[in-house]
Amino acid sequence: MAQRAGTLDGVAVVPGDKSISHRALMLGALAIGRTRVTGLLEGADVLATAGALRRLGVPVDRQRDGAWIIDGVGVGGLSEPDTVLDMGNAGTAARLLLGILSSHDLRVVMTGDASLRRRPMARVTEPLSQMGARFDCAAGGRLPLTVWGARASTPMVYALPVVSAQVKSAVLFAGLNTMGETSVIEASPTRGHTVRMMRHFGCTVTTARGRAGTRVTVRGWQEISAADFSVPADPSSAAFPLVASLLAGSGAVTVRGVCLDPLRTGLYDTLAEMGANLSIENRREVSGEPVGDLVAGAGALKAVAVPATRAASMIDEYPVLAAAAAVANGTSRFDGIGELRVKESDRLAAVADGLARCGVPVRTGDDWMEIDGSGGRPVAGAGPDNPVATLHDHRIAMSFLVLGLASRDGVAVDDTAMIGTSFPGFVPTMQSLGAPIGPLTDRKDQPPGDRP
């Protein structure tokens, strides 16, 4: 449970970026030689990737100093696992790995927790089938599924029908073990880690702008060279202490070394439009990724209209933006957010339900949301007798704990166990800044993701 915050102050240490951590392990696995990764996110999602790669015959180990060592087996070098790959809650891991597996001559069974088993996989199995892989999925194109990777996959040019970095990346990963050139055309740009990281690992990847959008092309059967990698802090996780700081009574919070891919920073652009006391300092490059330090301080916020064109650059940040909108001055509107319905939970519904429980007026449609802000006054809140339903979704839990810092009666959430998928240490980190969070209502009696 989170109570109204007075001063929040200090430096928040935020774990490594989730998107980059998955990709660092996967590219390390496909490289020739030894890759050393520092700053890896040791959350459940990324540990699921590490576990799956081990089952596929890749030595992946954590050293005493916290660095991770991957002894790459080379493109095409994965071996058939003798057990099911359980990807837990990790949608990115599942979809990117399917891309890799689809061009390996292997049979693999993949599953995940209750949330992942509900998420659409056809968005990757369709293009990967066109390249020659075969899939046998549960009803509705979902997990569990069996993939038979192609013995000799066929290159293709794929125009993305959904704005998704995961789909783009799955096809490009498949292209690595496909003779010839595989291209993805994205009409609307998405996060660029896959391309930047493939280049960091020595691959030739080209991009060209055309009328239909940006065409990204990878040449198959090139050698990937092991490369050390330092993972920057996750802007999606940094959002929680930073928005908390905006909502507090006073003080300032700093998060250092945050990944600033322009296709990840839509939240920060939006907060700036809201008049937030927020600055980015010390911009630099780390392992090919743009990085900077973010500083946020308490202050008034005004309502904002977020256009659909910005959705890809802040797709994981709408829940925490909703917390900021709830205390802003005026009515905020988010458009083009239908993809939120197929994340770890139906986040559009979960946010709307949580806000309503906290006494915040909210209206939604298929792919939009409107929130009437309190004009700087605390929102009512949701006590332990009527806690916010997180639907076992890490970002819903953290977002509403942040909103609790600007509430009259506090906000309780029905579960916190899933926070560990992306931000282990969230509660102590927030407490170290002075946030009154805890004790937590946490149902530990059933395994995460399989709870009703």
Q: Enumerate binding residues for ligand S3P (CB under 6 A).
A: 19, 92, 164-166, 169, 190-191, 315-316, 339
Q: Which residue is nearest to ligand S3P (CB)?
A: 19
> Residue 168 Cβ, how far from ligand S3P at the closest point, in Å?
7
Single-letter amino acid code for the residue at 106:
L
Min dist CB 19 to ligand S3P, Å, is 3
Q: In the block, which residue shows the tokens 């899933």?
A: 418
33-69 residues labelled b (16+ CB within 10 A) or e (exposed)? eebbbbbbbbbbbbbbbbbbbebbebebeeeeeeebe
CA-based torsion, 242, 243, 246, 248: positive or negative: negative
Bridging pattern class, strands 252-259 and 289-297: antiparallel
Provide the 10 A C-beta neighbour count for residue 290: 18
For residue 319, the minimal CB distance to ligand S3P (Å) is: 12
Question: Is the separation of the CB atoms in 103 and 176 below 8 Å?
Answer: yes
> Alpha-carbon distance 98 to 109, whole Å?
10
Q: Residue 140: is it exposed, middle or buried by C-beta count within 10 angstroms (0-12/13-18/19+)?
A: exposed
Q: CA-to-CA distance for 118 and 127, rounded, in angstroms? A: 20
Strand partners, 252: 297
- Least distance from ligand S3P to the Cβ atom of residue 21, Å: 9
Place of tokens 């920073």: 265
- Longest Cα–Cα distance of the chain, Å, equals 62
- Closest separation in Å from C-beta 279 to ligand S3P: 26
- Which CA distances in Å does 94 have to 26, 113, 161, 272, 312? 12, 11, 19, 34, 20
Residues 436, 257: Cα–Cα separation, whole Å: 26
- 210 forms beta bridges with 213
Catalytic residue among 316, 393, 414, 415: 316
Min dist. Cβ of residue 252 to ligand S3P (A): 28
To ligand S3P, the closest distance from the beta carbon of 160 in angstroms equals 10
By beta-carbon proximity to ligand S3P, the closer residue of 19 and 416 is 19
Neighbouring-strand partners of residue 69: 36, 61
316 is catalytic: yes
Question: Which is it for strands 368-372 and 205-210: parallel, antiparallel or unpaired?
Answer: unpaired
Helix (H, G, I), strand (E, B) or coil at 86: strand
Q: Which residues are catalytic?
A: 316
